[in-house]
Amino acid sequence: MTARRAGPLTGRARVPGDKSISHRALILGALTVGETTITGLLEGEDVQHTAQAMRALGADIQRTIDGEGQVIWRVRGVGVGGFAAPEKPLDFGNSGTGCRLAMGAVAGAGVLATFRGDASLSSRPMARVLAPLAKMGARVIEAADGGRLPVTLQGAAEPYPIVYEPPVASAQLKSAVLLAGLAAPGETTVIEPTATRDHTERMLKHFGAKISVKHTGVNDIGRRIVLQGQPELEAAPVLVPADPSSAAFPLVAALIVPGSDIVLEAVMTNPLRTGLLTTLKEMGAQIETVNANSDGGEEVADLRVKAGPLKGVEVPAERAPSMIDEYPVLAVAAAFAEGQTIMRGLRELRVKESDRLEATVQMLRVNGVEAAVEGDNLIVTGKGATLGRAAGGGSVTTHMDHRIAMSALVMGLASEQPVAVDDAAFIATSFPGFAALMRLLGADLS
């Protein structure tokens, strides 16, 4: 796929449902007795894999359409500890979130399951999740080198509650432990020195679990999460808000394509996901938050975004968990800003769908932008309005990474020359309809 400069982006759009919440709604729905209805579920490939896995573990999951033509997913769960042993390996495709959260849920059920995924997922670290799950009584029967997929896990019939401090800031890791802890007697505690996205905690509360969350540390940056095990989860309707990590692409595009003025509707603004908005505003971006509202336990708002000059900034390492998936597209914004943008503390980017730190630098360099990695920091030098736009003209290798593909295409919409990506297929893992939505706003993608 290739992106070219065209006129300004204009109009309104609503990006698909949040990926993190969609995975959790299916998994927690599967652990609940009764029928959970989900409105706005992301129908990307990653989430479809999670739905398939939950079916294989015994949940009844149907996609239905109501009288008004609205898609409603219905999940009839099996209750905490009620999973059946799947007959075949559970395939999670490209999705680290689906796989790691499901490992937690299986670890707390006495069943044997094999987890597999595509080449990208099979290269990602799983030992970080398997270690605490083993402490809770699950057994790794088989794993590839370094604890990678395929992994066969024997869940614990009677898991132990643990007190756990994740060695890396990871919502997936936290969530896996909490999901396993659902089946354990007593209290499972997770201590986070830096808070990560809290959708699991919010949704557990929504389904009736007893969970307390205390803010800790300087500026309340940490969390102490205590879950009472063996709750009766009660089915409750879930409304999935629009995904801020997907909204990031049209948002940055509108900032850098001259003359643009768009509205992105009902984007989730959970404060643990808004690091990109904070950073872009520091860069001088014109982003107005309107119709702020609370929808189904998560904050949402419309975002009005206008093109305008941006300046380079320093992004502190503590902000990384609240914008961990947004660095490639922030780097694109930085390429169009005036001066240097220094993004600190990005080690985790090396273990995403690709080595995203390296892939981001390459994406920028093949398009004539000065970029460097120094330790865990990414440094991008933009020329800004005075010195001219990014050259473009490059062909970007996406390494099976949807966010590299979308970031590169956003870049092409504002560069001197078109930008091409080698493979746009992985965009469907998280943002089905990306190209169509961007074209409706006025983008030239072919």
Residue from 93, 86, 30 nearest 61 by CA: 30
Give just the sign of the alpha carbon dihedral 132, 135, 138, 144. positive
Residue from 361, 360, 382, 369 nearest 417 by CA: 369
Q: Is 429 in the site for ligand S3P (CB under 6 A)?
A: no
- The mark string for 27-56 relative to ligand S3P (x by CB under 6 A, - otherwise) is ------------------------------
Q: Is 381 in the site for ligand S3P (CB under 6 A)?
A: no
The yes-or-no answer on residue 145 being catalytic is no
- The mark string for 60-79 relative to ligand S3P (x by CB under 6 A, - otherwise) is --------------------
Single-letter amino acid, residue 186: G
> For ligand S3P, which is the closer residue by CB, 250 or 321?
321
| Least distance to ligand S3P, CB of residue 151, Å | 16
Q: Which of residues 78-117 bind ligand S3P (CB under 6 A)?
A: 97
Q: Is 421 in the site for ligand S3P (CB under 6 A)?
A: no
Q: Cα(50)–Cα(38) distance, rounded to whole angstroms? A: 14
Q: Is 22 in the site for ligand S3P (CB under 6 A)?
A: no
Only segment of 35-43, 137-145, 148-156, 168-176 that touches ligand S3P (CB under 6 A): 168-176
Q: Please report which helix (H) or strand (E) contains residue 406, including its range.
A: helix 402-412
Q: Which of residues 235-274 bind ligand S3P (CB under 6 A)?
A: none
Q: Which of residues 303-322 bind ligand S3P (CB under 6 A)?
A: none
**Backbone phi and psi for residue 172, each to the nearest 5 degrees, phi listed first:** -65, -45
> Would you give the DSSP letter of residue 216?
E
Residues 6 or more apart whose CB falls under 8 angstroms from that of 181 comprise 108, 136, 159, 161, 162, 188, 227, 229
Q: Is 324 in the site for ligand S3P (CB under 6 A)?
A: yes
> For ligand S3P, which is the closer residue by CB, 381 or 398?
398
> Using alpha carbons only, what angle is made at residue 107 by residues 213 and 31, rounded to the nearest 5 degrees?
65
Q: Is 380 in the site for ligand S3P (CB under 6 A)?
A: no
Q: Is 407 in the site for ligand S3P (CB under 6 A)?
A: no
Residue 207 CB burial class (10 angstroms; 0-12, 13-18, ≥19): buried
Cross-strand bridge partners of residue 288? 304
Task: Dump the DSSP string for 333-378.
Answer: HHHTSEEEEEE---GGGGGSSS-HHHHHHHHHHTTT-EEEEETTEE
Q: Which of 45, 192, 198, 325 binds ligand S3P (CB under 6 A)?
A: 325
- The mark string for 117-136 relative to ligand S3P (x by CB under 6 A, - otherwise) is --------------------
Cis before 237? omega within 30 = no
Q: Cα(16)–Cα(241) distance, rounded to whole angstroms? A: 8
Q: Cα(223)–Cα(13) distance, rounded to whole angstroms? A: 34
Q: Is 194 in the site for ligand S3P (CB under 6 A)?
A: no
Only segment of 76-84, 86-94, 170-178, 282-290 that touches ligand S3P (CB under 6 A): 170-178
| Least distance to ligand S3P, CB of residue 237, Å | 20
> For ligand S3P, which is the closer residue by CB, 91 or 325?
325
Q: Centre a 10 Å sphere on the Cβ of residue 122 and count the other Cβ atoms it contains.
A: 15
Q: Is 170 in the site for ligand S3P (CB under 6 A)?
A: yes
Exactly one of 91, 118, 325, 401 is catalytic; name it: 325
> For ligand S3P, which is the closer residue by CB, 170 or 360?
170
Residue from 200, 222, 179 nearest 298 by CA: 200
> For ligand S3P, which is the closer residue by CB, 348 or 444?
348
| Least distance to ligand S3P, CB of residue 175, Å | 6
> For ligand S3P, which is the closer residue by CB, 108 or 312?
108
| Least distance to ligand S3P, CB of residue 279, Å | 16
The residues carrying an active-site annotation are 325
Binding site for ligand S3P (CB under 6 A): 20, 97, 170-172, 175, 197, 324-325, 348
